[in-house]
């Protein structure tokens, strides 16, 4: 094992979901700056980066958000709460941004790869992400996918709901990068999906289309903040080789 793998192994093994933090231990806020900067380097679908991160730091705001986290212990004693938000609604702006940035790196005479990138962001992404209020477009895309799929491999996840899942996957990867980074910085965390999303969105003044992916609390664990031994399904039951 490399030195890096052994450090990474320690980080992964020592990360536990923490339900009680010790607020007497000083907290270095810059660890969150660095960890969020690392989180935005996470792999994400089509590099559209349809995420936002809201840091809740003041006592009054944390107390209010902890209430919307259903009063969970993991939220109540944290030094900070970070809300991971999925912004599928920003696909158009982000696609334009990413394509314009990519174009800056293109040679004067466009090759096959560059043309594919332009097609991807100006045709395929709009086809996948565009939707109408009742998602008739999604049903149409499903039919096209089913017919086309009879003859060749084709993406099957094409409805508006499917695309919500696509975006949430990427946001969750950012949350994982963030939590592992916080562990590397010497802090603990807990991911939470137990919250009232409507109240959280109102609290953050987010538009209807934004969705809360998860809320991550951070701080230093109290020994009693680890609820029991780690339980995992035996690896033979979840890891398969072909
Ligand atoms: C998406 C997600 C949502 C979670 N929601 C909560 C939650 O609302 N409250 C909580 O105490 N733990 C929550 N957890 C933590 C899990 O219970 C925990 O990760 C699991 O029991 C494994 O324990 P470990 O993280 O210590 O390895 C959540 C974890 C994930 C990934």
For the chain (242 residues), the mean pLDDT of every run of 10, in chain order, is 98 98 96 98 98 98 98 97 98 98 97 98 97 95 96 95 98 99 98 98 98 98 96 98 98
* Helix, strand, or coil (residue 24): coil
Radius of gyration of the chain (CA): 21
Please report whether residue 6 resides in a domain.
no
Ligand 1 atom at shortest distance from the alpha carbon of 69: 8
pLDDT at 105: 97
Cα-to-centroid distance, 57 and ligand 1 (Å): 21
Identify whether 148 is part of a domain. Answer: yes
Closest C-alpha among 82, 99, 92, 93 to residue 171: 82
The number of folded domains in the chain is 1
User: What's the pTM value of the predicted model, to 2 decimals?
Assistant: 0.97
Residue nearest to atom 4 of ligand 1 (CA): 192
CATH number at residue 160: 3.40.109.10
The pLDDT, as a whole number, for residue 78 is 98
Q: Could you give the C-alpha distances from 180 to 34, 72, 77, 183, 190, in angstroms and in order?
A: 12, 22, 20, 5, 11
Pocket of ligand 1 (CB under 6 A): 16-17, 19, 72, 74, 190-194, 214, 230
Residue of minimum CA distance from atom 16 in ligand 1? 17
Pocket test for ligand 1, best of 16, 192, 218, 221 (most atoms within 8 A of CB): 192
Q: What is the pLDDT of residue 137?
A: 96
208 in any annotated domain = yes
Residue 235 in any domain: the answer is yes
- CA 190 – ligand 1 centroid, Å: 6
Q: Which of 62, 51, 70 is nearest to 218 (CA)?
A: 62
Instruction: Using the atom order of ligand 1, give the atom closest to the CA of residue 226.
Output: 26
Task: Provide the pLDDT for residue 190.
Answer: 98
**Atom from ligand 1 closest to the CA of residue 227:** 26
Indicate which residue's Cα is closest to atom 20 of ligand 1: 17
- Burial of residue 203, with CB atoms counted within 10 A of its CB: 0-12 exposed, 13-18 middle, 19 or more buried: middle
Q: Give the per-residue pLDDT at 145.
A: 95
In a domain, 1, yes or no: no
The span from the CA of 75 to the CA of 174, in Å, is 19
For residue 3, tell me if it sits in a domain: no
Q: List the one residue out of 144, 176, 160 whose CA is nearest residue 43.
A: 176
Domain of residue 69 covers 16-242
Q: How far is CA 231 from the centre of its chain?
A: 24
pLDDT at residue 51, as a whole number? 99
Could you tell which of 193, 196, 213, 229 is best to mutate to test the pocket of ligand 1, judged by most ligand atoms within 8 Å of the CB? 193
Q: What per-residue confidence (pLDDT) applies to 144? A: 95
Is 10 a member of any domain?
A: no
Query: Hey, what are 220's tokens?
Result: 């230093």
Q: Can you give the pLDDT at residue 82?
A: 99
**Domain for residue 9, yes or no?**
no
Give yes or no for a contact between 216 and 80, defined as CB atoms under 8 angstroms apart: no
CA of 192 to the centre of ligand 1 (A): 6
């Amino acid at each position: 094992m490399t030195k890096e793998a052994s450090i990474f192994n320690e980080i992964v093994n020592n990360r536990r979901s923490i339900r009680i933090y010790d607020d007497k231990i000083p907290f270095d806020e810059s660890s969150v700056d660095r960890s969020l900067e690392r989180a935005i380097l996470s792999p994400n679908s089509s590099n559209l980066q349809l995420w936002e991160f809201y840091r809740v730091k003041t006592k009054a705001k944390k107390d209010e958000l902890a209430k919307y986290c259903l009063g969970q212990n993991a939220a109540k004693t944290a030094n900070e709460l970070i809300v991971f938000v999925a912004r599928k609604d920003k696909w158009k702006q982000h696609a334009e941004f990413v394509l314009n940035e990519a174009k800056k790196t293109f040679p004067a005479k466009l090759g096959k790869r560059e043309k594919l990138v332009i097609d991807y962001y100006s045709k395929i992404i709009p086809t996948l992400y565009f939707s109408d209020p009742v998602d008739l477009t999604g049903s149409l895309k499903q039919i096209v996918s089913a017919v086309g799929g009879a003859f060749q491999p084709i993406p099957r996840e094409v409805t508006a709901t499917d695309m919500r899942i696509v975006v949430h996957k990427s946001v969750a990867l950012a949350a994982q990068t963030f939590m592992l980074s916080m562990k590397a910085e010497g802090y603990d965390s807990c991911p939470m999906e137990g919250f009232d999303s409507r109240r959280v969105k109102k609290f953050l003044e987010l538009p209807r289309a934004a969705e809360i992916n998860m809320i991550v609390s951070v701080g230093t664990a109290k020994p009693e903040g680890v609820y029991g031994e780690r339980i995992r399904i035996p690896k033979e039951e979840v890891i398969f080789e072909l």
